[in-house]
Structure formats: structure tokens, C-alpha cells
């Protein structure tokens, strides 16, 4: 499976997926830390991929997503955005609604 297929598979098979530097319990950059805190505050399980441990994904995801930076949040196969968008959506309550709906859909 080539790296683009791997990325597509990850996005399709995880209703809430965060590509980040590090892990939720040990983020490796401030942007990933803020994004993780916002997603975790929504109270639902989510998948993550540490791009520092996956250099092929780190190199290829920006072109696939047409989004140059990390972290990247994907919900139901759609790119939500990066740290600024994630934290703005969290502050407005939109993020919690989006993630709770994705989790409910995945359980149905």
C-alpha cells in the first residue's frame, strides 16, 4: 500500500483523526498541544497519527490535504483545519457539536 493509500485509509476509517506532532499525552509542539486540548475537551475518543514518527505521512499529507501545516483535524473524512481553526471552533462550541455528531454516527 503506498503512502497516499495509507493516508486515505486512516481518514476513512477514523471518524475523528488528528495528525499531530507527538501524542495527545505528550505533544511535541505548542500548536499540537492546543489542538489536542480542544479535541480532548469534547469528551469523545479520537485517533491520532504522530507525524514525527511517520515521515512519509509528514511529507505527503500536506499535498494530499492541500493544507501545508500540522496539526490537521479530520472529521468524517473532511479536513476541518489546523490549530487556529480548531481552537476557534472549540471556543464557539462548533467543535464539540461536530465531534459528538461524528462519534454518534460511528457508533450507529
Cα–Cα distance between 85 and 1 in angstroms, integer?
31
pLDDT of residue 107: 87
pLDDT of residue 1: 72
pLDDT of residue 77: 97
DSSP string for residues in the chain:
--HHHHHHHHHHH-SEEEEESEETTEESSHHHHHHHHHHHTTTS--EEEETTT-HHHHHHHHHHHT--SS-EEEETTEEEESHHHHHHHHHHTHHHHHHHHHHHHHH-
Could you state, in order of their start, the residue ranges of all structural domains in the chain?
3-82
pLDDT of residue 98: 97
What global pTM score does this model have?
Answer: 0.96
Which stretches in the chain have pLDDT values below 50? none
3-82 maps to which CATH number?
3.40.30.10
Amino acid at each position: 500500500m503506498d503512502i497516499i493509500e495509507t493516508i486515505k485509509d486512516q481518514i476513512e476509517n477514523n471518524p475523528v483523526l488528528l495528525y499531530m506532532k507527538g501524542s495527545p499525552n505528550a505533544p511535541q509542539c505548542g500548536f499540537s498541544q492546543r489542538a489536542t486540548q480542544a479535541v480532548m475537551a469534547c469528551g469523545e475518543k479520537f485517533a491520532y497519527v504522530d507525524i514525527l514518527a511517520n515521515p512519509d505521512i509528514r511529507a505527503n499529507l500536506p499535498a494530499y490535504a492541500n493544507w501545508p501545516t500540522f496539526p490537521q483535524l479530520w472529521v468524517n473524512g473532511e479536513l476541518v483545519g489546523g490549530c487556529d481553526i480548531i481552537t476557534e471552533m472549540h471556543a464557539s462550541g462548533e467543535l464539540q457539536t461536530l465531534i459528538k455528531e461524528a462519534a454518534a454516527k460511528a457508533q450507529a
